[in-house]
Amino acid sequence: MPFHPTHIPGLLIFEPKVFGDDRGYFFESFNAKTWLAEAGFAIDFVQDNQAFSTFGVLRGLHYQTGEFAQAKLVRVLEGEVLDVVVDLREDSPAYGQSYKCRISADNKLQLYVPKGFAHGYLVLSETATFFYKCDNFYSKPHEGGIRFDCPTLKIDWELDPSQIIVAERDRNFPSLGDHRKQ
């Protein structure tokens, strides 16, 4: 399982080894022993989530706080998304920095998002099925979010804003910095 570091400490791209032939393909999307050997730390995923969305749907930027903070391993089962994370770890040298990458069923890339990040994605294909593993359970009282169009972050979502579909809840999230008041 090759892991590729990003410019943000702890944020990793995972590129699985894919075995393909004329019948199709096979790959291990997660293996705890290989994860420990290659990533250098153990992780205990306790919840799997899956979402289906259409072109232009933007979900995020979401996070969990306190004892319910979550690390995630995200991937796309069908379609393509622009995946975006923001480092909210106040002691991190990358605090407030964002990272984005395209994840698709074709490239089979996965993104490991450590605890302390806001996470979101935008569907670039006609439809997309998004899947992610979490190392902690969801808790509504501990959820938070940052505006996808936060002027401080200046994230280029790569679509015209008129094409982006965002839930009212996500539109009303605060900007970076103001998120601490939630």
Q: Which of 99, 119, 132, 179 is catalytic?
A: 132
Q: Which of 62, 63, 99, 119 is catalytic?
A: 62
The pLDDT tens digits of the residues spanning 1-38 come to 588 999 999 999 999 999 999 999 999 999 999 899 98
Residue 179 known to be catalytic: no
pLDDT category, 182, cuts 50, 70, 90? low
Q: Output 182 or 104, whichever has higher pLDDT.
A: 104
What is the set of domains in the chain, with CATH numbers?
44-181 (2.60.120.10)
Residue 119 known to be catalytic: no
Residue-level pLDDT at 181: 65
Nearest to 81 by CA among 100, 61, 62: 100
Of all helices (H) and strands (E), which one includes residue 39? helix 32-39
The pLDDT tens digits of the residues spanning 91-132 come to 999 999 999 999 999 999 999 999 999 999 999 999 999 999
In the chain, what is the greatest distance between 2 CA atoms, to the nearest angstrom?
A: 55
Which pTM was predicted? 0.94
Residue-level pLDDT at 1: 53
- Round to whole Å and give the CA distance between 108 and 104: 6
When the pLDDT of each residue in the chain is averaged and rounded to a whole number, the result is 95
